[in-house]
Structure 1
Amino acid sequence: MHEEKIWLKLYPKPIAKNVYYRAETLQQLLKNAAKEYPKHKAIHFMGGEMTFKKLYKKAQKLAAFLQQKGLKKGDRVAVMLPNSPQTVISFYAILLAGGIVVPTNPLYKERELHFILQDSGAKMIIALDLLYKNVQSAKVGTPLETVIFTGIKDFLPFPKNLLYPIVQKKQQGKLPAIKENQYTHFLQNILKTQVAEIIEHPVDFEEDIAIIQYTGGTTGFPKGVMLTHQNLIANTSMCRQWLYQMKKGEEKILGLMPLFHVYGMMTVMVLSVMEIYKMILLPKFDPETTLKTIHKQKPTVFPGAPTIYIGLLNHPAIAKYNLSSIKGAISGSAPLPVEIIERFQEKTGGKLVEGYGLTETSPVTHVNFLWDHKIVKGSIGVPWPGTDAAVFSEETGEKLPPGEIGELGIKGPQVMKGYWNNPKETANVLKDGWLLTGDLCYMDEKGYFYIVDRKKDTIIAGGFNIYPREVEEVLYEHPEIEEAAVVGIKDDYRGETVKAVIVLKKGSTVTEKELNQFMRQKIASFKVPRVYEFRTELPKTAIGKVLRRELKEEGNTDKK
């Protein structure tokens, strides 16, 4: 079974070579936590705290209400909230009621929300009160019947709950006037009711869908990724095995990655309930607030994205704060520059490693070792326990030997069931039990994997293949660069040419000419950017992934 998995020889003794988990649903995890650790703190949010017992009771109340409003097994419920106690309550309540969670980005505009509501067939939504107008406009022509609103202030401790509306009004304007009726409800009022009995539906652990997570994918409209209870439980169990120095019931995890994305969902919301960690939730990334929170609350686990670590390390007041509580940090969503790893570890004394995953894999498949191994520069690490990975030839579809570049394929219990109502797209990526990722990579002789780039992001200039990640890594070596993204833009002579979009560190005066000289000393001339653009920030998704497509489109528009 393990003959081809050469990376297993690298595993430290505490990590099992396979993944071990019980066939328990996600909602059962919360039941277990409330029963076995009722007084243990589950959530810290802006000064207020909640135990596992209280979290479970609130989830029960909401679950009972959803069933009273007609929720049947398999019905979809959208959640459109920032990181907050309400998000955690809603997630587990929907599952307790027998529903399927449809996480939705609070930043989505009316058109984007309308598509998800229509495509998923969601009958209900739990949303932030500030999004009232968006929800009202987007629901037209969708199956949406019930709307539940909640506000950030609802779970703030005194006196913040009184002061927040004043601050919010100054920053975002007056709250919309929402009236409660048979279609529109307030979460606060639902949670004031007595715990009612919930109809418990039998769950097929391997087949029943827990969430439908929408992803942009490579082309066209977003696709709904169907993740089962097994997918998420298996991936969280792999994570638990990887974090073998962390102790059950003793850790605190910084919940900064959006819980509406499967990476934040798994590493914060599910892992914390499985392992009885305290979630320290922050509704958005603000470097100063994050540094203060780490200093005061002392989280030990810090899942994040490169842009978050870069933002913290470049904050002018970082020296004022003690970040030494952090034992382990796993970075996902985008390539992690080596310079950032070294600076972060120097500042915190903890370990920061790069990982890899996709929404379609719940999401993690590869991570570098946190302990007992040196960092392997530029690598996404090795597959997690119970995960198989291979590099496939784009021409023949055969598995390639170490050192050769091809498309990364993944097999394991975390691989999605398929795309919601989209058998054609499902068939395009799921082949013979393998998920084809669309990422080009190679594996070295030891079993470490290296992402070269997305198939669609490869720049072909004058017949040469250029991988943006390689060029970006070199740009990050320049001491004046804070962030960089590389894309291919149309070129009449070369077909495509390399463009670098740069964010300089504050006060920097480096010029295009100086950057060009720097790059020519480091990489082959055909890879050196021919076009440089300086900006104050890069366009990103909510989880910190740079929107390359947007930069590419802008670059090509500029050429016309």
Structure 2
Amino acid sequence: MSFNLATILRESRYACPGKPLCHSQDRTLSYEQVDEASGRVAAALLALGLERGDRVAVQLPNLPEFLLCYFGILKAGLIMVPLNPLLKGREIAYHLADSGSKMLVAFSLLAAEAVAGAEEAGGTEVYVVTLPGYDQIPEGTKPFTDLLAAEDTGDIVPTNADDTAVVLYTSGTTGKPKGAELTHFQLYMNCSVSGDLFGIQPDDAILAVLPLFHVFGLSSVLNVVVRFAGTMALVPRFEIEPVLDAMEKHRCTIFSGVPTMFFALLHADTAGRDLSALRVGCSGGAAIPGEVIRAFEEKFSGVVILEGYGLSESASTTTFNINAEQRKVGSIGKPVWGVQTRVVDGQDRTLPPGPENVGEIVIRGHNMMKGYWNNPEATAEVFRDGWFHTGDLGYADEDGYFYVVDRKKDLVIRGGFNVYPREVEEVLYTHPAIAEAAVIGRADERLGEEVVAYVALKAGAQAEEQEVIAFCRERMAPYKYPREVKFLSALPVGPTGKILKKELRT
């Protein structure tokens, strides 16, 4: 079956050509402008000799040029390889070489590392996006504007529905990053199903601060907006004042983010701001504490936070709480349309419902990746009998709602007892002085592992280690509470705002 994901842009352009697709600082681009400009990029890429199935890496923050590259690459029948702009030269070289990318589009302010990585990878050609009024680019690179000089032919190269559209690299928490191959059809199904679940409406404006190079931002924000002809307010990075400014200026109705973003907004000074347009918060990427949900909805009256679950390998959304009436706080919801989810034991046998029956969450459906790029061994490790093994531990309840307890690798086994860090973190988040919390296991000669908590305090708040330990001890079984509490000014986070436990372990 022939299908190209870029069709979602073309169809929305036909429906509302002059409607704003994205706002970015002082720039606004309509659907017609994005469709036409991305067509120029597509024509330029083909004129340079790139052929269907070739890979093009894009290392940009949330700027309109990301959209032009994305849809231009898709229209040309090529494969997009989104990369984090903060990667260093050595890391860039790995991604370029592993994906076999023939071109890299980078951001001028961070282009030095891109150039170094491209040279190490074997001389990948680099095009550089500059900010308006900033024309300087590194020697040996070409300006992105060269890719806009071609004439838009209006063509969209026919691709098969199961052709790879995007190779999206995992974070590499266990070894080198692997490239998940996501197809045109998988990404289309995710944005179609997710948009319906989010209840997106024609006049919705979505705040796009999640990085578009990440599956959450790419698949569940950008693709959803374009598929349903919405409008997005692009914010390059999560900083409270720019986020609140964009939310207020563009009357944003939907905010998608990870729990640390919701927590930051919860404690931000919003006095005098009109944020009344906001009606839905979509949380994912990590478990959001129930206490944060309750406090956020109390502060932002009329807003409901709906939690979901997904992975790079599942093209984003896998389960979701569809509305305030049917959600269960603390749950990741039910499987989305066309997706099956179950909890299995070590022999891949389905476990019965109940929190006492914790096992690994496995998935199958239209949303699952083709496999890891050029890595059949890693693909075989995660797929068994058609089911993708997530590495996440959880359980289901009698109503079919799923709950994530923790990552397999994050599980702490203390004296033979399983301690799920998320459960301890939920308790820590109820402490009045604690702003952020993360729990890990530390090797212990007697018990195997000991429970250690890392916390950051709220501004102006004070707490002592033994007081926090006592707080947890009063609320948890004796084998669960942390015996050690370490205080940091802020916990380390990744590009999406997810707390990086691997850095706490080093």
Q: Return the alpha-carbon distance in structure 2 between the equivalents of residues 487 and 219 of structure 1.
A: 16
Alignment of 1:15-34 (within 5 A): 24-34=3-13
Q: Which moved more, 1:31-40 or 1:107-116?
A: 31-40
Is 1:64 the counterpart of 2:46? The answer is: no
Matched-pair identity in %: 40
Residue 112, structure 1, aligned to residue 91, structure 2: yes
Aligned position for 2:195:
240
Q: How does 1:65-214 map to 2 (within 5 A)?
A: 65-151=44-130, 153-154=131-132, 161=133, 177-179=137-139, 184-191=141-148, 193=149, 195-197=151-153, 200-205=156-161, 207-214=162-169
- AA aligned to 1:265 is L
Asked if structure 2 preserves the Cα contact closer than 8 Å seen for 1:124 and 1:144, the reply is no
How many residue pairs are counted as aligned between the two chains?
503
Q: Which residue of 1 aligns with 2:472?
A: 519
Instruction: Answer yes or no: is the 8 Å Cα contact 1:458–1:467 preserved in 2.
Output: yes
Shift of 1:186: 1.1
- Aligned partner (choices 248, 252, 260) of residue 295 of structure 1: 248
TM-fit CA distance, 1:196: 4.2
Deviation string, structure 1 residues 178-213 (Cα, Å, up to 9, x no partner): 35xxx732123432x3524376533110x2000000
Matches within 5 A, 1:148-547: 148-151=127-130, 153-154=131-132, 161=133, 177-179=137-139, 184-191=141-148, 193=149, 195-197=151-153, 200-205=156-161, 207-244=162-199, 246-247=200-201, 249-315=202-268, 317-348=269-300, 349-373=302-326, 375-394=327-346, 396-403=347-354, 404-547=357-500
Report Cα offsets for 1:65-118 as digits up to 9, x if no partner: 111111100000000000010001110001111110000000111111110000
Q: Is the alpha carbon distance of 1:219 and 1:194 closer, same or farther for their aligned partners in structure 2, counting shifts above 3 Å?
A: closer
How much has 1:141 moved relative to structure 2?
4.2
User: Does the 8 A contact of 2:207 with 2:234 survive in 1?
Assistant: yes
Report the alpha carbon displacement of residue 399 of structure 1 after superposing the two structures with TM: 1.1
Any idea what SS the aligned residue of 2:257 has?
coil
Per-residue Cα deviation, 1:255-306 (whole angstroms, up to 9, x for no partner): 0100000110012211111100111000111111111221221111111111
The unaligned stretches of length 5 or more in structure 1 are: 1-21, 155-160, 166-174, 554-560
Alpha-carbon distance in 2 for matches of 1:47, 1:133:
26
Retained in 2: the 8 A contact 1:117–1:142? yes
Distance 1:39 1:465, change over 3 A: same
Q: 1:525 is paired with a residue of what secondary structure?
A: coil
8 Å contact from structure 2 (residues 306, 324) kept in 1? no
Q: CA deviation at 1:23?
A: 7.4
Whole-angstrom distance in 2 between the partners of 1:86 and 1:123: 19
Q: Give CA-to-partner distance per residue, 1:401-441, whole Å, 9 cap, x none.
A: 11211110111101000000100110111111111101111
Residues 506 and 460 from structure 1, CA distance in 2 versus in 1: closer, same or farther, beyond 3 angstroms? Answer: same
Distance in 2 (CA, whole Å) between partners of 1:144 and 1:343 is 51
Q: Distance in 1 between matches of 2:4 and 2:28?
A: 25
Aligned equivalents of 1:255 and 1:488: distance in 2?
34
Q: Where does the alignment leave 5 or more consecutive residues of structure 2 unmatched?
A: none
Tell me the secondary structure at the aligned position of residue 419 of structure 1: coil
Deviation readout 1:207-253 (Å, 9 max, x if unpaired): 20000000035521000000001111111111122123x32x31111
8 Å contact 1:123–1:143 — kept in the other structure? Answer: no
Q: Distance in 2 between matches of 1:400 and 1:190?
A: 54
Asked if the contact 1:390/1:410 (under 8 Å) is kept, the reply is yes
CA shift at 1:369, angstroms? 2.5
Report the Cα distance in structure 2 between the residues aligned to 1:78 and 1:259, rounded to whole angstroms: 13
Partner of 1:9: none
* 8 A Cα contact 1:121 1:144, kept in partner: no
Q: What CA distance in whole angstroms lies between the structure 2 residues aligned with 1:119 and 1:243?
A: 35
Which secondary structure state, in structure 2, belongs to the residue aligned with residue 319 of structure 1? Answer: coil
Aligned to 2:467, the other structure's residue is in SS state helix
1:212 and 1:106 map into 2 onto residues whose CA distance is 16
C-alpha separation between the residues in 1 aligned to 2:288 and 2:467?
24
Separation in structure 2 between the aligned mates of residue 202 and residue 23 of structure 1, nearest angstrom: 6
Q: Is the 8 A contact 1:124 1:146 kept in 2?
A: yes
Structure-2 residue corresponding to 1:552: 505
Q: TM-score, normalised by structure 2?
A: 0.96
CA distance, structure 1, for counterparts of residue 110 and residue 242 of structure 2? 24
